[in-house]
Structure 1
């Protein structure tokens, strides 16, 4: 299956009003691309992690009124779901594309992951590239730039992951719409692959 980069039309899907029209456009324009990315990178991530990684394209099936503001394909070592597992994501909002390592609130072992992240905070300050970003809520586009953060800043996020029921932690890259649509063919694949390689040490702390 050919892997196609995201286009302006893909980002414009999130300007379409109404749940059904937007979902129809998502299924037609974006989900085939996410499916192709899922097939390609599930194989790559399986080799990288040593776990059999399964792709999960977001279906947004529970929505009855509000159309989705973002969409993605997730990769996890579980064929039935990803939300309860540490996982990787590739996706987009209207304004940008994202590539994440994510532990979201459904993960039952958040406390243990938070402790291991806390133990590595000093190392992570220097090993995470400065242009990477963090998020504490996967449902919002807001991010915290890694550049300028110290170990204490990271530890406050890692402690929250351990102590707050709805806490989440995501790390990765955010690529603006304009920059994302310039990525073609090999550059698109290489950008995603490079991000996963930099995020792999976080996954290995699970």
Structure 2
């Protein structure tokens, strides 16, 4: 799922130290992954560029815990695949390997594209959700055939060394910062409405991506860059 373009985008912002903050809440009842960079402004030293939160379902599938996307999810164009891949890697560590199902209320076109990429990637697989399961949903079955095709599949990550390499780099970048609890809470809070903000400013963010993320690279970190 981490295609050459995703790696190219990550390398393009390496000077602003892209990092991944992972939060496990209440015995893994909820999980949130937040992608952020070093960028000073009048309020903070950081800028959140991607966030996705999931919540555990009450019913398992084939003995595995199931998580569904909740809250507002979003990422700057160019980093959605990286964000979801990191989420899937973290879910693989939960309870012997957990499954991901799509948002039960709203699947955006961007998210739909990510689920389709997981289906076509050799690094991921899925289980069809039986219609007797409480995790089964027919919300889009008669409205949108594309969304119907991903709605009742439970996805999981099978493993890939390249995926892990970049995931570990992002985790390491975060740990080196030794952030305070207040700083981490601020980064997560900045992601709470990121999905809506990205949707409103999508055209401008696409232009930012197409310009090589020049506005994201205005603040240079003093630490030596890791090899990407």
Tell me if both proteins adopt one fold, taking TM over 0.5 as the criterion: no
- Kindly indicate which of the two structures has a greater share of residues assigned to helix: 1
Structure with more relative contact order (C-alpha pairs < 8 Å, separation 6 or more)? 2
TM-score, length-scaled by structure 2: 0.26
TM-score, length-scaled by structure 1: 0.28
